[in-house]
Structure 1
Amino acid sequence: MNAHDILLRPAQQTDAWMLSAIHIAAIKALPTTLYTHEELLAWRNYREKPDAANILKHLQLETLWVAVKGDNVLGFTSYIIDELIALYVHPRYQGRGIGRALVEHFCEQARQQRLDKVITTASLYAEGFYLRLGFIPIQRAPHQLGKKIIVPVIKMSKELTAVQK
């Protein structure tokens, strides 16, 4: 399977449990090389099991898109106008172009709004991924997870080309 085998569509309320499961699985799969175990635990909101209601508190359904194959949700993204808020692909499906397809969709939506630049805040793990997609680092910054944990992240931006007619 590759990115050509998937469909991107707006998320639905019934996807929420799977979105939470993907969020947890993607963070659990990360090694403790760039963030500590405690920081990664906070990043997934101290959850071991999916919680559909909780994820919809943090991400608005109207700004969520999912990558699906058949009935299976493989990954998702959330964005608001020019800012990519979240991007997660289930570890089983990473490296197959799904994340790239979701980011390219976000960029295309921004182009259609006649925006010339988009931004995101990337984890240290995701910096290389975004660099390969044409994003450039702006600065390292602190990001608060929960009440007591602050982790380093990278603010990044990408210049967009005009919409082709």
Structure 2
Amino acid sequence: MTSLMQFHIRKYQDSDLPALAKIYRGSIRHLGAECYTKEQIEAWSSFSENIQAFENWLKGATTLVAVDSENACVGFGGLEAHGRISSLFVSPEWMRKGVGSGILGHLLEEAGARAFSVVTTEASEFSRPLFEQHGFVVTEIEQTEFKGVKFARYAMQARLKHGFKSM
């Protein structure tokens, strides 16, 4: 079945905004219960409800979007100008099918093309293993707060080799 689910990756378009907000919320709510409290899930997933802030966040990075054969958005990720991966989210029905890995690989290729030697991110509990598969290591476990709710996240980094190509 996985082989039938094909996707490709392109740059973000303004018309993607509602779909990406839905993916963001759905991803957090779908996987969140594995690692987070109900209060944490509600606070974190609510960010996309502030559509202006959410749009600014997407446009503040080079955001890549995974789309299916009908051009429906199924995931997205962003790379900021200083080499930080600011986002990586996949629609629940497309999780564990290579979409997150595909997006992350493209983001790392973009970072390599920009001649970054180190790429950083702050990963959630459930995205940490994917980043580790792509060579990221935890440098610190951070405590952060959003809407008055505390979260732990993993500060991670990867050293890029010249001419990096995604898997």
**TM-score, normalised via structure 2 length:** 0.87
Question: Equivalent residue of 1:139, what SS?
Answer: strand
The match for 1:149 is 149
Structure 1, gaps ≥5 residues long:
none
1:56 aligns with 2:55: yes
Structure 1 SS opposite 2:101: helix
User: In the comparison of the two structures, how many residue pairs are matched?
Assistant: 161
Deviation (angstroms), 1:104: 0.8
Paired with 1:2 and 1:132, the residues of 2 have a C-alpha distance of: 21
Unpaired runs of 5+ residues, structure 2, are none
Aligned counterparts, 1:62-81, within 5 A = 63-69=62-68, 70-81=70-81
Matched, 1:117 2:127: no
Query: 1:152 deviation in Å?
Result: 0.4
Q: Give yes or no for contact 1:75–1:98 (8 Å, CA) kept in 2.
A: yes
Structure 1 pair 106–138 and aligned structure 2 pair: CA distance change class (3 A):
same
Q: Conserved in 2, the CA contact under 8 Å of 1:13 and 1:61?
A: no
d(CA) in 2 for partners of 1:60, 1:100? 21
| Deviating 4+ runs (over 4 angstroms) | 1-4, 50-54
Q: TM-score, normalised by structure 1?
A: 0.88
In percent, how many aligned pairs have the same letter?
22
> Structure 2 matches for 1:67-146, cutoff 5 A?
67-69=66-68, 70-81=70-81, 82-146=83-147
Q: Which residue of 1 aligns with 2:15?
A: 14
Q: What letter corresponds to residue 63 of structure 1 in structure 2? A: T
Judge which range, 113-122 or 60-69, deviates more: 60-69
SS of corresponding position for 2:127: helix
One-letter code aligned to 1:139: E
Comparing 64-73 with 19-28, which one deviates more in the overlay? Answer: 64-73
Deviation at residue 113 of structure 1 after TM alignment: 1.1
